[in-house]
């Protein structure tokens, strides 16, 4: 369901600095300095309401997390969660995945999470999918030598498409599952969408891709 744009959302969001980073391009190649440590940096592309990334940040204080989200209404919810939990290992970018090159230097990231992204179902829209090989090539550049992508979706067609894209782009795949909740890993964190799908008994597809 598409959220209605609420008056005052932008102003409320801009008041939450930090953890919102207003000029992320200024930190290109300098994110460890921003966080004040040398901990690895994990990013979620499309945070939604922020349940996933704020839970990870709370559970893993030795990791730095960045949430990227384009829609200000849902981004505001995620930023508020981080503020309420007093998390100091998380930052948020109000931006577009297509601008990642402007935000991060080569090999600056250790892990990328892609959760329930838009499947762009029509064939002519394939290049818009976040697991299209054009995006994968850019992720590869931004990830360090041990970098990984963790991908989850409820869309079977998108998952099959993604598998082929990862294989063709020479990623090493592991922990592939066609029904995550038949045997969920202990460290699995569910997004808001994921909880809804789980309640309906819908299968969740997941994989991990390692940079080679």
Could you tell me if 211 and 148 are in contact, meaning their C-beta atoms sit under 8 angstroms apart? Answer: yes
Catalytic residue among 101, 118, 157, 168: 118
Q: Kindly report the pTM of this predicted structure.
A: 0.94
Choice among 5-9, 64-68, 157-161, 170-174 with the minimum mean pLDDT:
5-9
Token code pair at residue 59: 């559970």
Structure confidence at residue 71 as a pLDDT band (50, 70, 90): very high
Identify which has the larger pLDDT, 176 or 187.
176
Q: Which pairing describes strands 205-210 and 172-177: parallel, antiparallel, or unpaired?
A: antiparallel
User: What is the mean predicted confidence (pLDDT) over 187-206?
Assistant: 92
- The ranges assigned to domains in the chain are 9-210
Q: Is 154 a catalytic residue?
A: no
Q: Per CATH, is 9-210 categorized as 3.40.50.150?
A: yes
Strand partners of residue 206: 152, 177
3-state percent breakdown (helix, strand, coil) of the chain, nearest 5: 40, 20, 40
């Amino acid at each position: 369901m598409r959220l209605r744009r609420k008056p005052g959302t932008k102003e409320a969001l801009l008041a939450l600095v930090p953890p919102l980073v207003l000029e992320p391009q200024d930190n290109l190649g300098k994110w460890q300095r921003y966080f004040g440590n040398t901990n690895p940096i994990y990013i979620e592309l499309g945070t939604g309401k922020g349940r996933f990334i704020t839970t990870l940040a709370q559970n893993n204080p030795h990791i730095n997390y960045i949430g990227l989200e384009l829609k200000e209404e849902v981004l505001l919810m995620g930023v508020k969660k981080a503020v309420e939990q007093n998390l100091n290992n998380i930052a948020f970018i109000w931006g577009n995945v297509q601008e990642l090159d402007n935000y991060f230097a080569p090999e600056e990231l250790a892990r990328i999470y892609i959760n329930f992204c838009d499947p762009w179902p029509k064939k002519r829209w394939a290049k818009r999918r976040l697991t299209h090989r054009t995006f994968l090539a850019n992720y590869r550049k931004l990830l360090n030598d041990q970098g990984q992508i963790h991908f989850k979706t409820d869309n079977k067609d998108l998952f099959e498409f993604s598998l082929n894209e990862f294989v063709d782009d020479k990623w090493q795949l592991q922990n592939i599952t066609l029904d995550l909740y038949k045997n969920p890993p202990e460290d699995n964190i569910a997004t808001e969408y994921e909880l809804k799908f789980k309640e309906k008994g819908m299968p969740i597809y997941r994989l991990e891709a390692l940079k080679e």
